[in-house]
Each structure stands twice: as structure tokens, then as C-alpha cells.
């Protein structure tokens, strides 16, 4: 029960690693606020956690809308009295999400804007919304989800640039939060089996990661055993970023 009575907010929590991390937080005693743009899926995910004895609430949040972000944080504080953990997990490659195959320079600018807003502005919005509460309670952990593409670069320019930005955001958060007992870390996965096609991406270890492997790292970084870790980017990519693939 590493997170007994802790309060965690997770974005992109209706599926994938956001959902799995939320389930694990709840299993280990946390009270979890799940947020996602898919209202039906996120409320069902929270209900499933409650049915297993956990404490959770699901709320529809579009991370591009600051008023919705702020409302989710206010709900967490009103209901549970604190925000101990923020997991910025919402994101995605814009061309894949929009079903587009054109090269970057031929994409409609709306597609590019979606990628920048969801992958970078959304996490900044959530950080802005939680920092006041974390400073007041003199504690907190923020985990930003990066990507190996943020380390190596990517042909999906807005995605790669946004994920590189998550590393810079994490370093700045570490500087900003340290005097107030707030830590920040970035987790940058390589291919993860949240979608079958990820198995086709090459790594030095010859496979994609299981989602649980990424979530295990996230939970460790949020725990008291990582109390001296802040500002770092953790690449967990099976050696993909080593190069020569």
C-alpha cells in the first residue's frame, strides 16, 4: 500500500497506460481522479475500480480546455483534500489519431495544432492547475509521459517536438518545485503493446514493452523510494534509442 490515502490525478485514464496506472494506484491505496476526453469510458473505468474496492471518480476532460482541467483539479481537492500525484499520460501521434498519411508539410494545420495542444499544452495546463495546491501542501509528484521519439526525433514533427518538450518541462518543474517539496520526472517509453502494431517497431531487445513494465517504473518514481529523484528523464525503450536500428 505505497500510496495509502494519497490522491492521484491521471490524464488519458480511460485506456492504455493511463488506465493501468490508475488501477494500480487504487490497488495500492490511492484515491484516484481519472480524466479523459471519452466520458463514457472514463466513468466506466472509475466505476470498475470502485467495484473492486478502490476509491475513484471519472471525469470528462479535454486537456486542451483549461477550464475543464481546472475543474478536475478543483474536484480532486474538494472531494479528497489534496493532489499528491499528477500523471500526464494523455497524448498521441496526430497523424495516426486523425487517420492521415501525408508528410508533415502537407498536413492540415488543424492536425498539427491538435498534436501540439494535446501532447504539450495539455500537460502544461495540468501542471499550472495543480502547482498551487502542491505548493500549499509542500509536497507532490508530477510524472510527464515522454517518448523515445522525443529523444531520437521523429518524422511526425509535432509529436517528436512535443515529447522533447516534455523533457524540458520536467526539468523546469524540478527547479520550480524543489523549494516546495515537489518532484517531477519524465518517463519516455519506446514501443509499448497498447496497440498491436507497436510490436512491429524494432528494439535492441527484440520486442515491445508490456504496459505493466512502463507502469511499474511510473509507480516507483511516485513512491517514497524515489524521494531523491527529480528532473530526470527515464528512457525505457528496449535499447531503441541506442541507434543503428
pLDDT tens sequence across 101-149: 899 999 999 999 999 999 999 999 999 999 999 999 999 999 999 999 9
Pair type for strands 55-60 and 31-36? parallel
Q: What is the pLDDT of residue 43?
A: 98
For the chain, helix, strand, coil in percent to 5 are 50, 15, 30
Q: What is the pLDDT of residue 217?
A: 98
Q: What is the pLDDT of residue 178?
A: 98
**Residue percentage of the chain with pLDDT more than 70:** 99
Task: Give the pTM.
Answer: 0.95
For all residues of the chain together, what is the average pLDDT? Answer: 96
Phi and psi at 138, nearest 5°, equal: 60, 40
Evaluate whether 34 touches 56 at the Cβ level (below 8 Å).
yes
Cα–Cα distance, 102 to 113 (Å, whole number): 15
Asked if residue 198 has pLDDT above 90, the reply is no
Active-site residue, from 66, 80, 125, 159: 159
Q: Calculate mean pLDDT across residues 89-95.
A: 94
Q: What is the pLDDT of residue 125?
A: 98
Fold of 7-237: Rossmann fold (3.40.50)
**Strand, coil or helix: 150:** helix
Q: What is the pLDDT of residue 245?
A: 66
Half-sphere exposure of 75 (CA within 13 A, CB side): 19
Q: Is 80 a catalytic residue?
A: no
Amino acid at each position: 500500500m505505497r500510496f495509502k490515502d494519497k490522491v492521484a490525478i491521471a490524464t488519458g485514464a480511460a485506456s492504455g497506460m493511463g488506465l493501468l496506472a490508475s488501477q494500480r494506484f487504487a490497488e495500492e491505496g490511492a484515491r484516484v481522479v481519472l480524466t479523459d476526453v471519452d466520458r463514457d469510458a472514463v466513468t466506466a473505468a472509475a466505476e470498475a475500480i470502485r467495484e473492486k474496492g478502490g476509491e475513484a471518480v471519472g471525469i470528462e476532460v479535454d486537456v486542451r480546455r483549461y477550464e475543464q482541467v481546472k475543474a478536475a483539479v478543483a474536484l480532486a481537492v474538494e472531494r479528497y483534500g489534496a493532489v499528491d500525484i499528477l500523471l500526464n499520460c494523455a497524448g498521441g501521434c496526430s497523424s495516426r489519431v486523425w487517420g492521415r498519411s501525408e508528410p508533415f508539410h502537407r498536413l492540415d494545420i488543424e492536425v498539427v495544432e491538435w498534436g501540439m495542444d494535446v501532447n504539450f499544452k495539455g500537460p502544461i495546463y495540468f501542471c499550472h492547475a495543480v502547482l498551487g495546491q502542491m505548493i500549499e501542501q509542500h509536497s507532490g509528484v508530477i510524472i510527464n509521459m515522454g517518448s523515445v521519439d522525443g529523444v531520437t526525433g521523429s518524422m511526425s514533427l509535432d509529436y517528436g517536438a512535443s515529447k522533447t518538450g516534455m523533457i524540458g518541462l520536467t526539468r523546469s518543474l524540478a527547479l520550480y518545485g524543489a523549494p516546495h517539496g515537489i518532484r517531477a520526472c519524465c518517463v519516455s517509453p519506446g514501443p509499448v503493446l497498447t496497440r498491436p502494431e507497436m510490436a512491429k517497431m524494432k528494439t535492441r531487445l527484440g520486442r515491445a514493452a508490456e504496459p505493466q513494465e512502463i507502469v511499474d517504473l511510473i509507480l516507483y518514481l511516485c513512491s517514497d523510494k524515489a524521494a531523491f529523484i527529480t528532473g530526470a528523464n527515464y528512457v525505457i525503450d528496449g535499447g531503441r534509442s541506442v541507434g543503428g536500428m
